[in-house]
Structure 1
Amino acid sequence: MKLSMRTAPLFAFVLIVAALGFALLNDPRKMPSQLIDKPVPGFELAGLVAGDGGLSSKDLTGGIKLVNIFASWCAGCRVEHPTLLRIQREGAIPLYGINWKDKPGDGLKWLKANRSPYLKVGDDMNGRLGIDLGVTGVPETFVIDRTGRIRYRHAGAVTDDVWAETFAPLLAALAKE
């Protein structure tokens, strides 16, 4: 099919609009994780402080747990931090942190300034574990079941509303399994 000089620009415009519409409608925060119901990838991360033991996939077995991916430069992480502190304070569920793609020392400074809600924190400075988990940005939070399988991925801030509407019912259901 031969395009005339008049229809070629129109055709190009329609293609560009379609591509932009597709990109806008496919929010990466709403994309399901390919790892749902699969085991957490094996990993060992250094801690934010030398000698503190870090975090490994072995820490995420034997009970229902949350893993929160955060960074000091992340605006959404600041939004969710009060909710994470409340979850930790109430002892609702063990909460582990992964500091993602932060400059050395920045994650630790941020946690010291704002208090850490995490039992353990691993340093994923190069983002390798984030790639293995399919992280598209921060914050992201994963629910891990008793067998070490990923049961849910939430992209975006965990606010009190998100906790009540999404996490609390899911955790109650997992507790019955």
Structure 2
Amino acid sequence: MWRYLLPVAALLGLIVFFYLSLGRDMQTLPSPLIGKPAPQFELPSLEDPARMIANRELAGRMYILNVWGSWCVGCRQEHGTLVELARRAEIPILGLNWKDEREAALHWLQTLGDPYIASAFDDEGRVAIDWGVYGAPETFLVDATGRIIHKQIGPLDLQIWERDFMPLIRSGRPAGGVANP
């Protein structure tokens, strides 16, 4: 009799597990980098391969790192928001062009507008790995001490910006997590 009850109990356990998982916010992925120092990098500039871009140039300043690619549908979706944020000049936006073709990325910026103070060209994706990037677009908020205090996975819009980023920018306090649309 016990040999029949064990599979039934295991099945019931799986059903309960999946049922409880449905109530969880599946859009939220934990980020082990929240509260930790932002990984340092130095990469060629997208615009000028002879010029190097390093995030240490922003030491002492709060900034956004936006991971994007011209091949990325979600990046196109959020691009207008980034252009608007750049126009507002609330915080510097550093671009990390990820696994892209240089010519396609340059055409993208010339056509759609360039919201970045600079774009680093990460054609091999090694810097993105250091930052724990799952896929583009991803947007990181780095505080003035150089710590990552927020991570947005997926397209950024003005509602997300006002709800999740601006309170942190105003207060300088970490969110303790990652947010998604």
Which TM-score band applies after superposition, normalised by the shorter structure? 0.7 to 0.9
Counterpart in 1 of 2:87? 89
**Residue matched to 1:30:** 28
Cα RMSD between the aligned structures? 3.0
Q: Which whole-Å CA distance do the structure 2 matches of 1:127 and 1:153 have between them?
A: 18
Q: Percent identity?
A: 37
1:118 maps to which residue? Answer: 116
The equivalent of 1:159 in structure 2 is: 157
Separation of aligned partners in 2, 1:115 and 1:32: 32
| TM alignment of 1:11-160, pairs within 5 A | 27=26, 29-51=27-49, 53-160=51-158
Letter of the 1:158 partner, please give it: L
Listed as ranges, the gaps of 5+ residues in structure 2 are 174-181
Q: 1:146 deviation in Å?
A: 0.6
Is contact 2:64–2:91 with CA below 8 Å preserved after alignment?
yes
Task: Please give the TM-score of this superposition, normalised by the length of structure 2.
Answer: 0.80
Quote how far apart the aligned CAs of 1:86 are: 1.0
Consecutive unaligned residues of structure 1, counting only runs of 5 or more, are none
Report how many aligned residue pairs link the two structures: 172
Deviations for 1:87-126, whole angstroms, at most 9, x for unmatched residues? Answer: 1111111111000111232211111111110001101111
Deviations, residues 59-88 of structure 1 (Å, cap 9, x unaligned): 231111011000101111111111111111
C-alpha separation in 2, matches of 1:62 and 1:52:
26
Question: Which of structure 1's runs of 4+ aligned residues deviate more than 4 A?
Answer: none
Instruction: Give the TM-score, by structure 1 length.
Output: 0.81
Task: Summarize deviations over 1:13-34 as a string: whole Å, max 9, x none.
Answer: x98xx89x97xx784x511211
